[in-house]
Structure 1
Amino acid sequence: MAGKKVLIVYAHQEPRSFNGSLKKVAVDELGAQGCTVTVSDLYAMDFEPRATRKDITGAVSNPEFFSYGVEAYEACKKGALTSDIIDEQKKVQEADLVIFQFPLYWFSMPAILKGWMDRVLCQGFAFDIPGFYDSGFLKNKLALLSLTTGGTAEMYMKTGVSGDYRYFLWPLQHGALHFCGFKVLAPQISFAPEIASEEERKAMVASWAQRLKTIWEEEPIDCTPPWYFGQ
């Protein structure tokens, strides 16, 4: 949709990977719609995933005992976070939609992307107490997880060996994104592209491109326990 701004937070080491193809499709399709698309390519940026004392510029509030959450909160209020964090926060602040593109690692996201969330979505920027879930500071924004798996779709069913895929989405979509106020769209999951045929991979990419054509018409999921775990 013309005038909309999209941030793609991309976490894969190889530009020619299937994740890279999905990222490119999103850039091309959303750009064709007239959206302004920004990509944070975390590996290419050599993004620092560790949350440390170095994230705070200047003096900390308690030099005797370092608490990252407390110090990042105070630094955020004073504009005293490091420039790499502030730059990413500006991208989030400007975006109407944030897409996270990544391969599933141990039922979660790669460490570099987890570190992005730890450092960028800090208290004072993304939420406060009070000021979380439906009152989170990013409540006027959409978020979407686009991910690839090593296992097949059958493995991620309730009766599959890995259980329903919604189980592992709970901490990512609900505990992080919805906590910060994001309205979460249904995930885009590309199952087992490494063992899929070329036609199957092309179909996955085409499905993603087709979905993006009407992404602005989608309703967010009901980000409550029943969506993830049933009644």
Structure 2
Amino acid sequence: MNVLWIFAHPEGRSLNGALRDHGAATLRRGGHRVRHSDLYAMGWNPVVGAADFGHDPADRLIVGAASERAHAAGVLAPDIRAEHDKIAWADALVVQFPLWWYGMPAILKGWFDRVFVQGFAFGVTGGDGRTLRYGDGGLAGRRALVVTTAGARASGLGPRGVHGDAEDLLFPLLHGTLFYTGMDVLPPLVITGADRAGPADHAAAAAALDARLHALPTADPIPYRSEHGGDYTGDLTLRPELAAGRVGLAVHRRPCPAR
């Protein structure tokens, strides 16, 4: 596989940095090819602006429309086009970051804001004219694995933990960004207790990452319900007979079949 590793941590000597280097080596030993977007090292600009699209700053900027026009005309900013080339090359994306204030670092959010433009990652239509999203879209055919570290203990990020369930905290990224644009989203690897990790913890985290990377080509993705799979009504709400009486983020996952 061709794997694009997107890394958002300011310190290469951190646990995150060690895991990134270890993981890339693991992939290469397995015969995969790896390219990197190390956002802090690149000095990535996270701020969307008119210059991204060759847009006249004297005119009102409507970001979606301007980005779509610029993408179609091939005049997006060079740093955005370079990331598009990497994504077009990739069969899978690994997105790695520390969990800060219940989300990703601003530099990574800005990478998505500037790179996942309309007409490239979303806002594409099928042959029947329907907008392709939530299980289909501009990035369909790719896999995505999120790797994140948290200072919290594992129990605190569990279903009854004070911090909330880790997969729920990551829902905007997993479902609202990666699945929205058509990718097959694998269960995230959440490494807890990162601030207190010693050598044994580092070794355990590396082993857990190895297991996920070995399974990257074949692991079952999170079974999110696709928009056009028949589970939603015309106004984009879950059909009442599905997950009847339940609400919340989990209703957007298909139930696992009984074994």
Give your verdict on TM over 0.5. yes
Equivalence for 1:226: 250
Judging by fraction of residues, say which structure has more helix. Answer: 1
- Percent same amino acid among aligned pairs? 36
Cα deviations by residue, 1:90-111 (Å, 9 ceiling, x for unpaired): 1011100100011001111001
Structure 1 outlier segments of 4+, above 6 Å: 227-231
Segment of structure 1 superposing worse, 161-170 or 218-227 = 218-227
Q: 2:250 corresponds to which letter in structure 1?
A: P
TM-aligned CA deviation for residue 229 of structure 1: 8.4
Map 1:174-193; keep pairs closer than 5 Å.
Answer: 174-193=175-194
TM-aligned CA deviation for residue 227 of structure 1: 6.6
Q: Following the alignment from structure 2 to structure 1, what is the Cα–Cα distance between the partners of residues 132 and 168?
A: 25
Q: Contact conserved, 1:170 with 1:228, CA < 8 A, in 2?
A: no
Task: Classify 1:107/1:228 alpha carbon distance in 2 versus 1 (closer, same or farther; 3 Å).
Answer: farther
Aligned length: 226
Q: Contact conserved, 1:56 with 1:72, CA < 8 A, in 2?
A: yes
What TM-score do you get using the length of structure 1 for normalisation? 0.92
Equivalence for 2:85: 90
Q: Following the alignment from structure 1 to structure 2, what is the Cα–Cα distance between the partners of residues 173 and 134?
A: 11
Q: 1:206 corresponds to which letter in structure 2?
A: A
Q: Over the residues paired in the alignment, what is the CA RMSD in angstroms?
A: 1.9
User: What are the ranges of 5 or more consecutive residues in structure 1 without an aligned counterpart?
Assistant: none
What TM-score do you get using the length of structure 2 for normalisation? 0.82
Q: Greater relative contact order (Cα 8 A, min sep 6): structure 1 or 2?
A: 1
Answering whether residue 67 of structure 2 is matched by residue 43 of structure 1, we say: no
Q: Following the alignment from structure 2 to structure 1, what is the Cα–Cα distance between the partners of residues 88 and 78?
A: 15
Equivalence for 2:128: none
User: What are the ranges of 5 or more consecutive residues in structure 2 without an aligned counterpart?
Assistant: 125-130, 226-248
Answering whether residue 62 of structure 2 is matched by residue 67 of structure 1, we say: yes
TM-aligned CA deviation for residue 133 of structure 1: 1.7
Map 1:1-231; keep pairs closer than 5 Å.
Answer: 4-57=1-54, 59-60=55-56, 63-128=58-123, 130-224=131-225, 225-226=249-250
Larger Rg: 2
